[in-house]
A and B are shown apart, each in its own frame.
Chain A
Amino acid sequence: MKISINWISDYVDLSGIETDELVKRFNLSTAEIEGVEIKGQNVQDVVFGKVLSVENHPESNHLHILKVDVGSETLQIVCGAPNVREGMVTAVCKVGGSVVAGKIKAAKLAGVESQGMCCAETELGIGCDDDGIMDILEPVTIGQNIKEVWNIDDIVLEIDNKSLTNRPDLWGHYGLAREFAAIFDRPLKKMPLADLEKYNNLRKISIDIDTPNCYRYSAITAENITAKKSPRDMAIRLNYAGMRDINLLADLTNYVMLDLGLPMHAFDNNIVKGINVLESDGSIKMTTLEGEEHELPKGATLICDENKEPVAIAGIKGGLKSGISDDTTSVLFEAAVFDYANIRKTARKIKLITDASQRYEKSLDPELTQFALSRIIYLLGNIDAGARVTSSFSDCYKYKYPTIKIDLKPEFIGKIVGTEITKEYIIKTLNAFEFGIEDQGEKLIVTVPSFRATKDVSIKEDLVEEVARLYGYDNIVPQPLAFDTEPQNLIPSIEYEYDTKLMLAEKYAANEIHSYLWNYEDFNTQNKIATKAYVSLLDSSNAGQSGIRSELIPTLLRTLDENKNTYSDIRVFEIGRVVSGLDEENNCIENKKLAVLFASQNKREEELFIELKTAIVDIAKNIMGIDVSLVEGDTVQYLHPINSFRIVSRTDDYGYVGVLHPEVKKSIDKRFNVVAFEIDFEKLANTKAYARKIKSISKYQDVDVDYNILCDENLIYSDLQKILSKFKNKIVSGYSLVDIYQNKDLLGNKKSVTLRYNLSSFDHTLTGEEIEKFRADFVEFINKSGLEIRG
């Protein structure tokens, strides 16, 4: 929202305060100022001039050569405006002067000398009319500088609307002036108003409210309005505040809105004579002032005339038929307050967010309607002396907010702020914001002014803010807490999350990615990846996708797809949340999962698979202290039916690992061999770790013996282990895998598995006989087991 300091200065004297100081203090005490515009700075040496003659330019179709009287002299000016005419009074920028766009120099236009420029409103930055040069109808003195007559110099502050969300009172200049008055400790002037009581004897306008969403509707009528245009200064203010000047009556309603924050509306009183406020049944259509037809949804609040014909969408926009035009001479002014939620809902539904609806959404104070009508009648009377009020102040007040009184112990404020703040300071500050105060010694009874009582201020904590923001946060000395809490351990899934990520990045050269919470359905379908979504977004226009992911690997595959033409080796991982189902109450079951994908054009699938398995075991064992292994079992559709496995510990199943299904692989990029795993990270992290203890070692020399065991090439290692586990010998402390050798020519359908047996004893040095016995027993065992020992 844009605010004019000239306008603010109508209500509080800000003289002697630098703009920087204004901005800084307002920022720290009230709301964020996003920008400062110095208006009129570039408008220099612009005077009123009278066009004495208009001649066609010999070299141009649209240019004219003017003789313009600027008081001290007559200038020759070449002008391209279509509306120029002899006798016209306009604004002339002399050579050496400047307009918004820059300095004006003497120049030749199409060969003819021009000694200045006739200006349009837009060129002076004071209006929106750029159809031609200014056509000044009001009496002015030719040659006088326009700045001596019009208030062009001003400072306009742009306030961040978001920071005013909870302050309906700050959507007009008067409320803002109240803040400035409090901040700079200067008196707030009263707003000049008309006394409406003198019209009490006039007829009442019939007003009926048949909806709970209209809290108060007030109106007054006037006739014999002959002035059509707003006074120039009023038009300039409207423009500086970001609106356009239209005609007097429309401008007046906008001006009062910008004064008080309460939107107003003007109906042609010849068309609208009485008011019915109704609720739409959903079947009604209306054309607004802009000529756009809107269907009015069920529940929308409508302003209807005495015949219950809709004439405005309450709090949002007036209707075309009943609107004022340049011919309107009698008017019905509306000042009303509607339910904030109702207006908000309707505005969103019909996609019509207006200056009015924005203000109503903030919960306006119904007390304002009387001020607004008093103000508009005052202004109208000042501008158009012939205008006559034709009704009494007519009012239908359905819902009055309760008066809020708050008990406040003065020391409470200092206790929350953390520094002592005196009772005198509290009273002075709250008074400046127009809170009523009854001092009962031990406590204050604070009455919240109606314009702050619609939802903004209701509890004593709200009063802390009112006092503290004026007291100044710079005056608070930072202090550590007076108490401390006990040290706490990290939750395992949080503690291990970073360790896991770091290990994957540093040891396995993988890149962490963060992907969206939704499935990429197109990608998945295109690449034959079936994945489920248990819930979906109701409105996915900004997400592009609607199904919430239940797995991570499909997104990793998409990442592979997006980067496949840049890299020949891709390793990515994500720790992220998924929705893996719904509980009995239909709420989402959420899991934190880890997925890792290795893809390479250079490595074989089996190599990649072993590297990936290493990573799984590494994370489980070396970060979390859990032994995991792979077992055969069902996994997911997009992994290889043979080479995909479950990841388990002795107690739990955590997920799966595997080679990409050939069909998916072919679809994404057949050059890449791809393996991936996905586990329930939280579950793994929460599995009880084994105790990490040092194994004692024998002080006697141990002996290693290697055997090459020949077995069927399809016998997997864990099955070989099962066989070997039956061999018992008390000097065997363990064995490990050294190598696996396969050679069709030499070994046929067999493979040679080299194992290293470690022999030792805790109580003596092994004797030759013991070792020989082991050898003999082992060879016998192997032969009996249907295996063979290779030379």
Chain B
Amino acid sequence: MEINNINETEKCFDEDSSNIQNLEELENIRLKYLGKKGAITDIMAKFREVPVELKKEFGIKVNALKTKIENNIEQIKADLASKQIEREIKNTKMFDYSLPVDTKTGSLNPRTIIQKQVVDIFKNMGFVVEDGKEVETEYNNFESVNVPKNHPARDMQDTFWLNNGELLKTQTSAAQNRILRTYGPVCKVIFPGRVFRNEALDAKHENTFFQLEGVVVGKNVTIANLIYFEKAMLKSLFKKDIEVRLRPGFFPFTEPSYELDARCPFCGGRGCHTCGGSGWLELCPCGMIHPNVLKMAGIDPEEYNGFAFGLGFDRLVMIRTNLDDIRYLNSNNLKVMSQFKTKM
């Protein structure tokens, strides 16, 4: 009789649990069978009434049923939960993933970005990085770098002279004397900075622009070393091997003096807009430091020598960004300047 009751209960449970829609219904079923006043408790209460010989079978069956109910309820609970998630997913509205976003990033002047790249390259090559003043004495800007009196560069037309007798430095070399005195006679130093030329502005000419200058001084420095450094620097800058060529140039502070051209990295030398069709970019004025410059910095040119080179940041920026008017770099036109963000 009691055994039949167990079977009956199981049947009822199977029926009850076959169509549960939510957790509430499930809880009701749980209480109906497993609660303090539930079916299982009722059955257990009748244990005493079960004849001795059937007690064992009865016990096993009740426990099996209890376990089954517990397991089924857990299973149904899990099923309900995943159904719920499925429903939630189904009801989710797709975002407009195409909406534009604002990174709220400001911007650096592209010269700053280039300068950082170039400075990092030279730091990796063991160079000291220095800084220079913008107002300089006539001595530092001219005399100390072997620009003689009456040299055209000293004219009003080329130099911004100040009413106290000083001037706005026309070349980063103005810092050479101080730097050689500070770090010489064995040193590798670069010094980026802003330079000024008293000339009329147009799309290709600015009166205020950025350059970098580097010097290497030591014993037995050669033109072969100079070419090595320039190639290494350009390789790092353009991220590929760059063929270079030296052409004779003339600067008072170097002897011999060169213009270093790089095989145009954009067209590989076939000729393009950037290189003006020539296949070469005139990038770095350079040369072996003039013995007079070393002497004026207190370095014996018979014992030490070295090379110096320049690099125009503005030109690099224009090459890299397609900027067609150099004047933008000093303009405070945020429409143009804010396009650069912090990388290039």
Interface residues, chain A, with chain B CB atoms under 8 Å away: 27-32, 163, 165-167, 340-341, 344-345, 348, 361, 415-419, 459, 461-462, 464-465, 468-469, 473-474, 476-485, 487-488, 490-491, 493-494, 498, 501-502, 504-506, 508-517, 535-539, 542-543, 548, 555, 558-559, 562-563, 566-567, 570-572, 577, 579, 582, 586-588, 590, 592
Contacts and interface: CB of A to CB of B under 8 A. Distances in A.
Interface in B188-242: 188, 194, 196, 198-201, 207-208, 216, 218-225, 227-228, 231
Contacts of A590: 133-135
Contacts of B255: 459, 461-462, 464-465
Given A461-B290, A586-B164, A587-B166, A512 B109 contact: yes
B256 to A, nearest CB: 3
A537 B160 contact: yes
B260 to A, nearest CB: 9
A491 B332 contact: no
A537 B162 contact: yes
Given A511-B107, A559-B332, A28 B247 contact: yes
Interface centre among B116, B219, B259, B334 (most CB of A within 10 A): B334
A28 B109 CA distance: 36
B223 A417 contact: yes
A567 B332 contact: no
Given A502-B342, A505-B105, A538-B162, A469 B256 contact: yes
Interface string B145-174: 000011010011100111111101000000
A299 to B, nearest CB: 13
A506 B342 contact: yes
Contact of B106 (A167, A345, A506): A506
Contact of A469 (B137, B164, B225, B248): B248
A459 B216 CA distance: 21
A41 B321 CA distance: 39
Of the candidates A469, A512, A586, A588, the one having the most CB atoms from chain B within 10 angstroms of its own CB is: A512
Interface string B121-146: 00100111111011101000000000
A548 to B, nearest CB: 7
B66 interface: no
B152 A479 contact: no
B344 interface: no
A543 B231 CA distance: 37
Contacts, number: 231
Contact of B305 (A416, A477, A512, A563): A416
B224 A479 contact: yes
Contacts of B199: 542
8 nearest CB pairs, A to B: A418-B224, A418-B222, A465-B256, A341-B150, A478-B228, A505-B106, A559-B332, A473-B246
Nearest to B105: A506
B165 A517 contact: no
Contact of A417 (B188, B222, B248): B222
A507 to B, nearest CB: 9
A523 B69 CA distance: 87
A588 B135 contact: yes
Contacts of B112: 498, 501, 512
Nearest to B199: A542
B135 A32 contact: no
Given A415-B222, A516-B208, 6 more contacts: A32-B259, A476-B227, A490-B123, A490-B129, A542-B198, A570-B334
Contacts of B248: 28-31, 163, 465, 469
B48 interface: no
B4 interface: no
B219 to A, nearest CB: 7
A479 B225 contact: yes
Contact of A418 (B219, B223, B258): B223
B106 A418 contact: no
Contacts of B337: 511-513
A348 B150 CA distance: 12
B299 interface: no
A201 B342 CA distance: 81
B225 A586 contact: no
A579 B135 contact: yes
20 contacts: A344-B152, A416-B288, A418-B223, A459-B291, A473-B246, A477-B224, A483-B186, A485-B188, A488-B128, A509-B105, A513-B109, A514-B194, A537-B161, A537-B162, A542-B198, A543-B198, A562-B332, A563-B335, A586-B165, A587-B166
A476 B223 contact: yes
A600 to B, nearest CB: 14
Interface of B: 104-109, 111-112, 116, 123, 126-131, 133-135, 137, 149-150, 152, 155-157, 160-166, 168, 186-188, 194, 196, 198-201, 207-208, 216, 218-225, 227-228, 231, 245-250, 255-259, 288, 290-291, 305, 329-330, 332-335, 337-338, 341-342
B221 to A, nearest CB: 7
Contacts of B163: 535-538
Contacts of B329: 514
A166 B250 contact: yes
Contact of A480 (B225, B333, B342): B225
A32 B247 contact: yes
Contact of B221 (A481, A508, A577): A481
B222 A416 contact: yes
Nearest to B128: A488
Given A32-B247, A361-B152, A562 B288 contact: no
Contacts of B128: 485, 488
A340 B123 CA distance: 44
Contacts of A487: 126
A601 B223 CA distance: 59
A28 B338 CA distance: 41
B216 A473 contact: no
Given A479-B224, A542-B207, A485 B333 contact: no
Nearest to A578: B134
A505 B108 contact: yes
B225 A481 contact: yes
Contacts of A481: 216, 218, 221, 225, 228
Given A418-B225, A478-B228, A535 B152 contact: no
A165 B151 CA distance: 10
A555 B156 CA distance: 26
A563 B291 CA distance: 50
Q: Which of B111, B130, B225, B250 has the largest number of chain A CB atoms within 10 A? A: B250
Contacts of A517: 134, 168, 194, 196, 208
A415 B330 contact: no
A473 B223 contact: yes
A791 B93 CA distance: 46
Contacts of B186: 483, 485
Contact of B224 (A419, A513, A567): A419
A506 B113 CA distance: 13
A480 B228 contact: yes
A344 B150 contact: yes
A348 B152 CA distance: 10
Given A344-B152, A469-B248, A461 B106 contact: no
Given A461-B291, A538-B156, A538-B162, A572 B334 contact: yes
The residue among A341, A538, A558, A586 with the most chain B CB atoms within 10 A of its own CB is A538
Contacts of B200: 542
A31 B112 CA distance: 33
Contact of A505 (B188, B196, B341): B341
Among A415, A508, A548, A586, the one with the most B-chain Cβ atoms within 10 Å of its Cβ is: A548
B150 A461 contact: no
Nearest to B134: A577
Contacts of B165: 586
B223 A468 contact: yes
B116 A498 contact: yes
B164 A535 contact: yes
A538 B157 CA distance: 11
B147 to A, nearest CB: 12
B160 A474 contact: no
Contact of A543 (B160, B219, B290): B160
